[in-house]
Amino acid sequence: MNIAVFGGSFDPPHIGHEEIVKEGLKKLDIELLFVVPTFLNPFKEIFFAPAQIRYRWIEKLLSTYPKAKILKYEIEQNRPVPTIETIKHLKESHKLDKIYLIIGADNLPTLHKWKDYDELKKLVNFVVATRDDEKIPKNLQKLDIHVNISSTKLREKIKREYLPKSIADEVIKYYNRETMNERIENIVKILDDKKAENIQLFDMKNTDYFVNEVIIATTLGQKHGLALVDYLKKGLKADESYLEIEPSDDWSVVDLGDILIHVMSAEYRAKYNIEDFLSKRDEEN
């Protein structure tokens, strides 16, 4: 039996990955194509979506490709698994005549660093999926993939057009949630580190309010309030786009588009009681 193996983090899976599956099934002389999600890429230190979630996405993605099968081996090891280990596992569990190993062109410069590379290249036939303008040696078989996207770029800004239709809604929901959580945590950390008091969060996503999240913090005094705004501007500068900042001695508002931050003196916070307004808004929806 001839098979192809296509591994990766798939964090998240995108249309480039799906195109590789399609082209692999079309162009290679194989009975099965195994897609192998990693638990953790041996060359990376973190993943963003947990292995079981990525597994579920890929399983759903492959449901319309009868000759493509997901392999759970690396996830089940609960650790980074070098490719050669997976190849040996497949050779032990299947009667194989030929193994095509599909890799992205971006892997070529570091391929020689893969564990037991000299042994690996004796066990498999490398097939390279094109990416950008990476040059591919003439002695290597290639799959022409005309999708200029990577999981890294996609995580920075999730775009539906780069996601397979079968999993787009799930992927968007997951990464948008994670991104929002990270942003909220960062804002709260800055406020807390700089001695803001009584920091409260209000989730307004399920209401008709004009932002998704509201953060309220109490200052230690007028100068402290203005200083907190400056700390936020510096601490969030690389990641946030400010729609509007209204600094004031007693009540400053920072509008990030989907997050609204109120930095208030204790007197103003007690007087205007925004918490009560937001809580009632939530109860009405």
10 lies in the same domain as 145: yes
Q: Which domain holds residue 152?
A: 2-166
40 lies in the same domain as 132: yes
Confidence class for position 146, pLDDT limits 50, 70, 90:
confident
**What's the average model confidence in pLDDT over 140-155?**
89
pLDDT computed for residue 127 by the predictor: 97
129 lies in the same domain as 232: no
pLDDT in tens, 206-259: 788 888 899 999 999 989 999 999 999 888 866 566 678 889 989 999 998 888
Confidence class for position 266, pLDDT limits 50, 70, 90:
very high
Q: Which CATH number goes with the domain that contains 161?
A: 3.40.50.620
Query: To the nearest whole number, what is the mean pLDDT of the chain?
Result: 90
213 lies in the same domain as 158: no
6 lies in the same domain as 126: yes
285 pLDDT above the threshold of 60: no
Nearest residue to 253 via CA among 231, 234, 226: 226
Nearest residue to 261 via CA among 279, 242, 280, 276: 242
**Worst-scoring range by mean pLDDT, 26-40, 152-166, 229-243?**
229-243
Q: Which CATH number goes with the domain that contains 255?
A: 3.30.460.10
Peptide bond into 80 cis (omega under 30): no
Domain C-terminal end among 132, 166, 200: 166
143 lies in the same domain as 198: no
pLDDT computed for residue 34 by the predictor: 98
pTM value is 0.66
206 lies in the same domain as 244: yes
Residue at 55 is within a domain: yes
112 lies in the same domain as 208: no
DSSP letter, residue 43: T
Overall number of domains in the chain? 2
Confidence class for position 88, pLDDT limits 50, 70, 90:
very high
- pLDDT, greater one: 61 or 152: 61
78 lies in the same domain as 118: yes
pLDDT computed for residue 136 by the predictor: 86
52 pLDDT above the threshold of 70: yes
pLDDT computed for residue 253 by the predictor: 95
**What's the average model confidence in pLDDT over 79-94?**
96
**What's the average model confidence in pLDDT over 70-96?**
95
Task: Please state, in angstroms and rounded to a whole number, the distance separating the CA atoms of residues 72 and 36.
Answer: 7
First-to-final CA distance of the chain = 59
Length of the chain: 285
pLDDT computed for residue 101 by the predictor: 98
159 lies in the same domain as 188: no
8, β-bridge pairs:
37
90 lies in the same domain as 35: yes
